[in-house]
Amino acid sequence: MRVVVDLSRCEGYAQCAFLAPDAFRMHGEEALMYDPNPDDVRRDQVLRAAAACPVQAILVDRLEGREGQVVRDAPVEASPA
């Protein structure tokens, strides 16, 4: 799985850091740090975090199949927890 965050869109709401703390974390009050290649074990957390982003700054790609083939996961609606 590959994660890309558009840092020019990110406004530091930190919803991703709450939902997937192993993949996203805030550095200070506004700077987001993230793991661009989180383990597939964290897939559900990362997809929920991407769906919860208020500005939709997080893109998640699933790498599989032939070399160079990228499959984008469909948007996932955030469900109330």
The pLDDT, as a whole number, for residue 64 is 61
Each residue's pLDDT tens digit, 42-72: 999 999 999 999 999 999 997 665 555 555 5
Contacts by 64-71, CB closer than 8 A, 24 or more apart: 70/2
| Greater pLDDT, 70 or 19 | 19
How many CB atoms are closer than 10 A to CB 38? 20
The pLDDT, as a whole number, for residue 80 is 47
The pLDDT, as a whole number, for residue 73 is 55
The pLDDT, as a whole number, for residue 22 is 96
- Average pLDDT for the chain: 84
